[in-house]
Structure 1
Amino acid sequence: MNDIAELKNFVVAHTRSQGLPPAHYDPLLSRIEDDENGTPGSWVHEWSAEGARLEAEGKPLDASVHYNMARFPFVDGSARQEALERCTASFDTWRSDFPAVERLDIDLAGGRIRCWTAGLDASDPKPLLVMTGGIVSVKEQWAPVLLQLGALGFAGVVTEMPGVGENSLLYGADSWQMFSAVLDAVGDRADTSRTYALALSFSGHLALRAALYDSRISGVVGAGAPLRDFFTDTAWQRKVPRITTDTLAHLTRSKPDEVYGLIGDWALTPEELAALRIPVAHVTSLRDEIIPPGDARLLRERVRGVRLLAHDDVHGSPLHFAQTRLWTLLSVLRMRGGFGDQRVALTREFARLRYGGGNRA
């Protein structure tokens, strides 16, 4: 059972990333009293009830968003399992009107990676953008962006970290290999020699390690990624919010009091970061309560030519989501090259938000 105050606090970044305004989610959150397994007034019940209402109104994508919030932060019982299933089913209903968005299952020895894709074409293989969220966000949260990638010359894959959503792999020291498995699976329908990873939060750590071993990865754009200090600083770990520690324990199939000992040697070393020979861009939250400031400092000091954007905000920078969305997309286009008109337009819009009072758009 999760702490309700933490749930309400940390879900805000995810509601904002999916376009839910405070006027919508504040009344819903006020109705939530506990985190029981689906009973009235509980986290899962209230979010799922709103999802069911939207589903009945013929709004499957909106319903999927609410079912996603209901299963947040991870499946810990029958109610959240049902919410996850309804989240993916509602998204599948929505994407039935958009045949460009297709499902891809990748079966490996340790489990199955499930993905949403667009633009995969053996006769016209395009550069690939792989998008992943962190330890609490499912692929359906980000998959609608697939509809925009064709106009930017990309094929796309959106998937999840091991243990998150429908990804049944164990989150472990070798989880970076999932990126290579995805590229292998689509290599006949995309130009995987030009692959760019838009890897948010903890998946950014995996993408950077993967780039050390897989030369097909041509650039990594991340936000709020743990690199070294998160894995090694025991004093910082004692201050990490319970929701993060519990989620990590769930994904690694360990216990909260064991998980930091388990992941301690997952840190990227300064030498590994200095060995990266690809463009890297990263968004940092200056008041991040999950990722220690030393990790962003390590990027700046060790990664050659890194581009950094800093927000005076908490983890996920919920008050700056519009800026982050534009900047990360612009960063991918800079790495790819070309599409000058789109880059100019994105640069102007980013400047308007950054310097023109539009932070909360």
Structure 2
Amino acid sequence: MSYVWPLDPRELFVERYPQMLGFGLPAEDVDATRAAIDDMWPDAPGGWVHEWSRLAESYAATGRHDLAAAAYGWAKFPTLADGPKRSALARQTEQYTLSAAGFPVDFERRVLTVPHRGGTAQVAIHVLAAPGLPAEAPVTLASGGVDSWKMDLHSLWVQLALLSQTRVVTFDLAGTGETSHLPMTPDGGTEIVEGIVAEARRIGNGKVAHFGLSMGGYYSARTGLTAAVDASVVLGGPVEAAFAPGRGFAFGMEGIVGNALGFDRPPSSDELSDVFTSFDLRPYLDQDAHAPMLVINGADDVHIPQHDTLVFGDRRDTRVELVPGTGHCAISKLPEVLPVIVDWLKQTLNG
């Protein structure tokens, strides 16, 4: 189930341009692609998926599979709403796998069968580890949000694997990326995560941390609050206020979220609100069973209210950081934030 919706590509460039450069694409290539795009959905010259795919093809032809994977990542952005977007994701996966030989970490791709709503589901994971990492090292699960998926955040996960000395297992949330065949729901999505947690406990020393960014932070908050994992990092995750009735969306997020939730047409505001209220983590916030947690976000986030970070402030075994001068997930200050996360993970997982 999927749908397209009115979306101005110029707005996406306004918000995402720093991220495009930050994850490795040359500025001159991004600028040229930006100038060529004048429409979001048509798979034709001037269309988003067409122009980004054309750039990706040029990289692939010269053996720059890493840049091709990044460009195909933007071609399928922001969601798999149609066939050309799904094709771009398949090509991104192909180019990403081809680039793995040049990774500074050991890499393995697996497809897990995990429980889901009374049956099972197939979920692709990527396992990244520093060369020579002992088999008994802890495991850190890692995922992005509704529009930045496991391959898109590769450079972040590599740094996490190298610095934390944990085996990093990346995956796409239900409703996103290679798990788009399953709708994003509070319980079904958590069931997917818990299946990956069970696998993670088998491939390391039994200790598992969960690092979630953006909507991934919702699920890491939930596994942390229920102590399904041994440590939880929540970076810009929606928790309570973000799901309040009447909340609006910025930069096309309404359509992105609607697709992830499994709608086959643009939902009404009331329909979105009805679904979103079921995500509210207040019942878990009212309990005191949580694992150690680190909760961080930028103070100027346009997507997630400050409340959803500060609400953790008086909880035991919990560290809260609201970073000034940066926005959603403190992306512009990740070089400062990542060492905080790594140090906390090392201290927490080593007891």
What TM-score, normalized by structure 1, do the two folds share?
Answer: 0.83
**Alignment partner, residue 51 of structure 1:** 56
Q: Which moved more, 1:76-85 or 1:205-214?
A: 205-214
Report the CA distance shift for 1:212/1:320 in structure 2 as closer, same or farther (over 3 A): closer
Report the CA distance shift for 1:249/1:306 in structure 2 as closer, same or farther (over 3 A): same
Separation of aligned partners in 1, 2:45 and 2:76? 15
Tell me the SS of whatever aligns to 2:252: helix
Separation of aligned partners in 2, 1:303 and 1:244? 33
8 Å CA contact 1:117–1:158 kept in 2: the answer is yes
**Alignment partner, residue 213 of structure 2:** 200
1:213 deviates by 3.4
Separation of aligned partners in 2, 1:169 and 1:241? 24
Q: Which moved more, 1:49-58 or 1:312-321?
A: 312-321
Tell me the SS of whatever aligns to 2:177: coil
**Alignment partner, residue 356 of structure 1:** none
Give the partner amino acid of 2:141. V
**Alignment partner, residue 272 of structure 1:** 285
**Alignment partner, residue 127 of structure 2:** 117
User: Out of 17, 29, 32, which is 2:34 matched to?
Assistant: 29
2:243 maps to 1:231: yes
Tell me the SS of whatever aligns to 2:112: strand
Give the partner amino acid of 1:162. A
Separation of aligned partners in 2, 1:29 and 1:299? 40
1:185 deviates by 2.4
**Alignment partner, residue 250 of structure 1:** 259
**Alignment partner, residue 68 of structure 2:** 63
Q: Which runs of 5+ in 1 are unaligned?
A: 339-361
Separation of aligned partners in 1, 2:261 and 2:154? 25
Report the CA distance shift for 1:271/1:155 in structure 2 as closer, same or farther (over 3 A): closer
Separation of aligned partners in 2, 1:79 and 1:200? 27
1:207 deviates by 1.4
Tell me the SS of whatever aligns to 1:266: coil
**Alignment partner, residue 141 of structure 1:** 152
What pairs with 1:91-240 in structure 2 (closer than 5 Å)? 91-96=96-101, 100-108=106-114, 109=119, 111-119=121-129, 124-144=135-155, 145-146=157-158, 149=161, 152-167=164-179, 168-174=181-187, 175-192=189-206, 194-215=207-228, 217-234=229-246, 237-238=247-248, 240=249
Separation of aligned partners in 2, 1:290 and 1:241? 7
Separation of aligned partners in 2, 1:259 and 1:304? 34
2:312 maps to 1:306: no
Tell me the SS of whatever aligns to 2:278: helix
8 Å CA contact 2:240–2:282 kept in 1: the answer is yes
Separation of aligned partners in 2, 1:300 and 1:233? 24
Tell me the SS of whatever aligns to 2:238: coil
1:283 deviates by 2.5
Separation of aligned partners in 1, 2:331 and 2:166? 27
Separation of aligned partners in 1, 2:51 and 2:301? 28
Give the partner amino acid of 1:88. T
Report the CA distance shift for 1:148/1:133 in structure 2 as closer, same or farther (over 3 A): closer
Q: Which has the higher contact order (CA 8 A, sep 6+)?
A: 2
% same residue: 19
1:147 deviates by 7.8
Separation of aligned partners in 2, 1:53 and 1:34? 21
Q: Which moved more, 1:327-336 or 1:172-181?
A: 327-336
8 Å CA contact 2:297–2:323 kept in 1: the answer is yes
Separation of aligned partners in 2, 1:74 and 1:11? 14
Separation of aligned partners in 2, 1:324 and 1:97? 26
Q: Which runs of 5+ in 2 are unaligned?
A: none
Separation of aligned partners in 2, 1:315 and 1:147? 20
Give the partner amino acid of 2:37. I
What TM-score, normalized by structure 2, do the two folds share?
Answer: 0.85
1:273 deviates by 6.0
Separation of aligned partners in 2, 1:38 and 1:68? 15
